[in-house]
A and B are shown apart, each in its own frame.
Chain A
Amino acid sequence: MDKSQASGKLIHSGDRRHVRRILAVSSGGGHWVELMRLIPAFEGHHTTFVTVDKAYQADVRGFDFYIVHDVTRWNKIRWLYTIVQLLKIVLMVRPHVVISTGALPGYFAVRIGKMFGCRTIWVDSLANVDELSMSGARIGKCADLWLTQWPHLAKPDGPEYAGQVI
Chain B
Amino acid sequence: MAAEKTTIFSPETAARFDKLVTIYPVKRSALVPMLLYAQDDIGYISDAVVAEIAERIGITELDVRNVLSYYSMLRTKPVGKYHVQVCTNISCMLRDGYATLDQCKKKLGIGHKETTADGLFSLEEVECLGVCCWAPVVQVNYDFYDQLTPEKLDKVLDDYREGRGKETK
**Do A and B bind?**
no
Residues of chain A at the chain B interface (Cβ within 8 Å): none
